[in-house]
Amino acid sequence: MALILENQELQPGIMKMTLAYQEKNVRPGQFFMLRAWDKDPLLSRPISVYDYQPGKLSFLYQVVGKGTAILKELRSGNELEIQGPYGNGFPQIDTDLLIIGGGIGIAPLFYLARDFKTKNPHKKCRAYLGFRDNPYVTEAFEAICDEVVINVGGIITDDVKTNNSETVMTCGPEIMMKAVSKIIPDSTNVYVSLEAHMACGIGACLGCSCQTKNGNKKVCKDGPVFLREEVFDV
């Protein structure tokens, strides 16, 4: 069980939850299974890590169904069950970093960017963030990234400019990540973070299998981060 320190609504349907968390070794791109109910709904909810610092673990999530609606009603001082961290997360790189996020898909990219700049203060991190309507947490990205481009109501991939010194990491709607994969030159590594319905988070149930160039793999255990050429036709 984990103690909730804050569960704030940033704008309608967009929540930021911070938990007291004393464990270590949470990597950017990993996720936890969250649960604050007994039997209904049946499954826990997989939520990406938005940020991690010693003693605190944060999630940015969108209220889209019964489970996340229950999470929204929790308050400071409440407890919930968490399991994790799960998944392989984003890799460590020795180039500059370009992140491209769409909607709630920006959630795992913040910890990625902050961790990268902490470990590589002299390398550049640029961010492209796309939103259907009102943007959120953009100030947090602007505080750590060297450049942030925000697109509201348009197509974020239309704005993207790349260079050969960067590695690209992206998370968001699949159609956006496929577009990213097509516009980035083949010489640049592109990592995509997939989303899938999950029952266990550890690869036991096979509920989150996805087709890759090397056969079926599990998003929860083999992913959620894959090289673009593993999962998309490019």
Question: Which domains, ranges and CATH numbers included, belong to the chain?
Answer: 2-86 (2.40.30.10)
The pLDDT, as a whole number, for residue 50 is 98
The pLDDT, as a whole number, for residue 38 is 87
The pLDDT, as a whole number, for residue 203 is 64
The pLDDT, as a whole number, for residue 3 is 97
How distant is the alpha carbon of residue 174 from its chain centre?
Answer: 13
Instruction: Please tell me whether the overall predicted TM-score, pTM, comes out greater than 0.85 for this model.
Output: yes
Q: Which residues of the chain have pLDDT under 50?
A: none
The pLDDT, as a whole number, for residue 23 is 87
Give the pLDDT confidence of 30-66 residue by residue, as tens digits: 999 999 998 788 888 999 999 999 999 999 999 999 9
The pLDDT, as a whole number, for residue 198 is 61
Strands of 166-171's sheet in order across: 147-152, 125-131, 96-102, 166-171, 190-193, 225-227
The pLDDT, as a whole number, for residue 36 is 94
* 8 A C-beta contact, residue 48 and residue 31: yes
